[in-house]
């Protein structure tokens, strides 16, 4: 390895190989670790007692479970779509952000995956959705959106983790080479799959990486659409709309980008790796966030127009979402995910760490409100007024949601600690190209 390469790789590789983790890291891990404990508690209580510990009822059989599931899936999708596009387009930005956007995507899928399993009345039987040759020869119902969802989410986990892992292999080898202790060498060595950096390896690696990235593209559309189908395919007046998948894909993209932006800004600040995620990168990311939030805005207008054109019950249901008991959620979604991101018309805001955190969080929160508004507000005005009721989450549900945020944070913290957050080999590649040109 050349000395140049050494110089570039060093700060990035130093972090995982360092023995001193820093007080902030420990504090953050402690805080998010506590939330993971909360997650454990809520999962145990829901498993032992049943989903009745949540606020769900008839007709709101789904509450936080589906809201948060859809929300996490949105993050995962947005982030992995973003990473895949960067890989495929060989965009400059990819060196800076695609490693951790892949990570964000993967961790978000893990968080999302908790909900569909634990929201079951009998979670230990979740595998019945899998088409295995059961003695009674009962197969899953292939017309059910939940069966589609099972396939979508399992595919999603596989592809997202592949994208992340394939991208990591050369860097894992670097870490292996630079590690001093035997155990570290062994762990990284096994994970690096015997990477020696030969030309043939690089050729295969590039092919595999791009192949997986291509897989991500349709997958994202399928995954988000499948989540949307869980609503759109039902007869519920507000849900039964063909525009639903588009809404989920577009708002999910805005959400994923915003979380990537948030994490990028935080890493830049926390790990002091401004050289690798430079201001241009952040600026570009900010523009993407702004653009995607404008698309969301367009979709909100589209939703309103659709509602006006819809039949009476659908119209009443959608208008109720905008004006009824849960109207606050709808308008909060618009403010947080569309109005506030307009800050990014200003270059200074795009490049500011504080504004980045603020807007990143704001969109994340806004889309969460959007999902809440759809899952709960959309169901409120169903066909028969006699069964109209209200839903509000219990502490257990809230704890579960906070717990998944904790899990996400813990995974992210461990990731920044033990794996290179910025792709070393691609950064080297870029630097070389710059030099040679």
Partner 1 sequence: MGEGTPFDLDALRARLAAEEGPRLWRSLEELADAPDIRRYVEAEFPDVVQASPVDRRTLLKLMSASLALGGLAGCNGGDAGKKSPLLSQSHNMPGYTPGVPLTVATSLSLNGYGRGVLVKTQEGRPVKIEGNPLHPASLGATDVFAQAEILALYDPDRSGAPLQNGSPRSWEELTNFIRPVRNELVVAEGRGLHVLMPPTSSPTLHRLVAQARQLFPLAQWHVFSPIDDDNRQSAALTVFGRDVDLAYDLTQADTIVALGGDIFAEEPGHLRYAADYQERRRMQGRELPRLFAVEARPSLAGTRADERIVLRPREFEAFAQALAASLGANAVPPPPDVHPSVSRLAGELRRAGSRSLVVAGRELPSGVHALVHAINAHMGAVGTTIRILEPVRPVMSDARTLDDLVRAIAADQVSRLVILGSNAVHTAPADIDMADLVRRVPLSLHLGQHRDETAVACHWHIPEAHPLESWGDLRAFDGTVGLRQPVTMPLKPALSAEEFLGLMAGQNVDGRGLVQATWREAWGDGFEERWARSLENGIVEGTTSPAIDVAVRPEWVPKPTPPVASAGIDVVFVPDPSVWDGSYANNGWLQELPKPLTKLVWGNAALIAPETADIFGLSSGDAVDLTVEGRVLRAPVWILPGHAPGAVTLPLGYGRERAGRIGNGIGFDAYALRPSQRPWIATGGIRATGERLPLISTQQHHSLRSRDIVRVLAPGEAPARETEEQPSLYPEWPYEEHAWGMVIDLDACIGCNACVIACQAENNIAVVGPEEVAKGREMHWLRVDRYYGGDPASPDIYFQPVPCMHCEKAPCEVVCPVNATVHSSEGLNDMVYNRCIGTRTCSNNCPYKVRRFNFLDYQGTDYTPSPDAMNPQVTVRDRGVMEKCTFCVQRIGAARADARVEGRRLRDGEVATACQQACPTQAIVFGDVNDPGSAVSRLKKSARNYALLGDLNTQPRTTYLARIEAPMEKG
Note whether 382 binds partner 1 by CB under 8 A.
yes
**Residue from 41, 60, 358, 418 in contact with partner 1 (CB under 8 A):** 60
What distance in Å separates the CA atoms of residue 246 and residue 323, rounded to the nearest whole number?
A: 23
What distance in Å separates the CA atoms of residue 129 and residue 122, rounded to the nearest whole number?
A: 12
Q: 389 to 408, contacts with partner 1 by CB under 8 A?
A: 389-390
Q: How many residues sit close enough to partner 1 to count as binding (CB under 8 A)?
A: 50
Note whether 341 binds partner 1 by CB under 8 A.
no
Q: What angle, 0 to 180 degrees and rounded to 10, lies between the N-to-C axes of helices 395-418 and 3-17? A: 140
What is the 3-class SS of the chain, one letter each residue?
CCHHHHHHHHHHHHHHHCCCCCHHHHHHHHHHHHHHHHHHHHHHHHHHHCHHHCCCCCCCCCCHHHHHHHHHHHHHHHHHHHHHHHHHHCCCHHHHHHHHHHHHHHHHHHHHHHHHHHCCCCHHHHHHHCCCCCCCCCCCCCCCHHHHHHHHHHHHHHHHHHHHHHHHHHHHHHHHHHCCCHHHHHHHHHHCCCCCCCHHHHHHHHHHHHHHHHHHHHHHHHHHHHHHHHHHCCCCCCCCCCCHHHHHHHHHHHHHHHHHHHHHHHHHHHHCCCCCCCHHHHHHHHHHHHHHHHHHHHHHHHHHHHHHHCCHHHHHHHHHHHHCCCHHHHHHHHHHHHHHHHHHHCHHHHHCHHHHHHHHHHHHHHHHHHHHHHHHHHHHCCCCHHHCCCCCCCHHHHHHHHHHHHHHHHHHHHHHHHCCCCCHHHHHHHHHHHHHC
For partner 1, which stretch binds (CB under 8 A), given 122-130, 191-199, 203-211, 265-273? Answer: 122-130
Note whether 67 binds partner 1 by CB under 8 A.
no
Note whether 118 binds partner 1 by CB under 8 A.
no
**Residue from 85, 96, 120, 259 in contact with partner 1 (CB under 8 A):** 120
Choose between 18 and 57: whose C-beta lies nearer to partner 1: 57
For partner 1, which stretch binds (CB under 8 A), given 124-132, 152-160, 202-210, 428-436? Answer: 124-132
Choose between 3 and 135: whose C-beta lies nearer to partner 1: 135
Q: 20 to 49, contacts with partner 1 by CB under 8 A?
A: 49
Choose between 23 and 125: whose C-beta lies nearer to partner 1: 125
Choose between 52 and 197: whose C-beta lies nearer to partner 1: 52
Note whether 328 binds partner 1 by CB under 8 A.
no
For partner 1, which stretch binds (CB under 8 A), given 21-29, 375-383, 409-417, 422-430? Answer: 375-383
Q: 262 to 321, contacts with partner 1 by CB under 8 A?
A: 313, 316
Note whether 145 binds partner 1 by CB under 8 A.
yes
Q: 168 to 227, contacts with partner 1 by CB under 8 A?
A: none
Note whether 356 binds partner 1 by CB under 8 A.
no
Q: How far is the CB of 225 from partner 1 (least distance, A)?
A: 16
Q: How far is the CB of 44 from partner 1 (least distance, A)?
A: 15
Note whether 146 binds partner 1 by CB under 8 A.
yes
Note whether 144 binds partner 1 by CB under 8 A.
yes
Note whether 3 binds partner 1 by CB under 8 A.
no
Q: How far is the CB of 377 from partner 1 (least distance, A)?
A: 14
Choose between 130 and 204: whose C-beta lies nearer to partner 1: 130
Q: How far is the CB of 50 from partner 1 (least distance, A)?
A: 5
Q: How far is the CB of 384 from partner 1 (least distance, A)?
A: 6
Distances, alpha carbon 65 to alpha carbons 47, 148, 149, 242, 407, in Å: 14, 18, 14, 23, 16
What distance in Å separates the CA atoms of residue 312 and residue 119, rounded to the nearest whole number?
A: 33
Q: How far is the CB of 314 from partner 1 (least distance, A)?
A: 12
Q: How far is the CB of 302 from partner 1 (least distance, A)?
A: 24
Footprint of partner 1 (CB under 8 A)? 49-53, 55-62, 119-123, 125-126, 128-129, 138-141, 143-147, 149-150, 230, 233-236, 313, 316, 379, 382-390
């Amino acid at each position: 390895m050349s000395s140049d390469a050494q110089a570039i790789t060093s700060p990035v590789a130093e972090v995982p190989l360092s023995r001193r983790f820093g007080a902030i890291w420990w504090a953050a891990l402690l805080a998010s670790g506590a939330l993971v404990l909360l997650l454990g508690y809520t999962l145990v209580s829901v498993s032992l007692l049943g989903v009745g510990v949540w606020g769900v009822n008839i007709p709101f059989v789904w509450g936080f479970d589906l809201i948060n599931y859809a929300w996490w899936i949105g993050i995962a999708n947005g982030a992995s779509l973003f990473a895949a596009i960067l890989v495929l387009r060989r965009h400059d930005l990819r060196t800076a952000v695609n490693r951790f956007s892949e990570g964000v995507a993967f961790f978000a899928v893990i968080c999302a995956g908790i909900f569909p399993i634990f929201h079951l009345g009998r979670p230990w039987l979740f595998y019945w959705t899998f088409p295995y040759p059961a003695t009674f020869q009962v197969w899953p119902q292939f017309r059910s959106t939940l069966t589609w969802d099972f396939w979508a989410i399992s595919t999603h986990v596989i592809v997202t983790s592949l994208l992340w892992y394939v991208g990591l292999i050369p860097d894992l080898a670097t870490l292996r080479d630079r590690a001093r202790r035997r155990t570290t060498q062994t762990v990284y060595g096994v994970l690096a799959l015997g990477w020696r950096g030969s030309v043939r390896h690089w050729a295969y690696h590039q092919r595999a990486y791009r192949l997986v990235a291509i897989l991500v593209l349709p997958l994202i559309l399928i995954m988000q659409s499948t989540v949307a189908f869980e609503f759109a395919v039902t007869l519920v007046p507000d849900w039964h709309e063909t525009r639903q998948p588009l809404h989920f894909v577009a708002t999910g993209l805005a959400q994923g980008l915003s979380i990537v932006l948030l994490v990028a800004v935080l890493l830049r600040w926390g790990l002091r790796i401004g050289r690798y995620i430079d201001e241009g990168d952040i600026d570009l990311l900010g523009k993407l966030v702004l653009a995607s939030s404008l698309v969301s805005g367009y979709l909100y207008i589209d939703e309103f127009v659709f509602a006006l054109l819809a039949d009476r019950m659908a119209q009443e249901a959608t208008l109720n979402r905008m004006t009824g008991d849960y109207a606050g959620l709808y308008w909060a979604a618009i403010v947080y995910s569309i109005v506030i991101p307009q800050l990014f018309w200003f270059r200074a805001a795009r490049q500011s760490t504080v504004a980045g955190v603020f807007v990143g969080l704001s969109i994340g929160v806004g889309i969460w409100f959007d999902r809440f508004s759809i899952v709960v507000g959309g169901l409120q005005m169903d066909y028969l007024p006699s069964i109209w009721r209200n839903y509000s989450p219990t502490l257990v549900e809230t704890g579960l949601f906070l717990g998944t945020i904790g899990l996400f944070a813990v995974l992210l913290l461990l990731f920044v600690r033990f794996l290179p957050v910025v792709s070393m080999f691609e950064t080297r590649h870029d630097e070389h190209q710059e030099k040679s040109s």
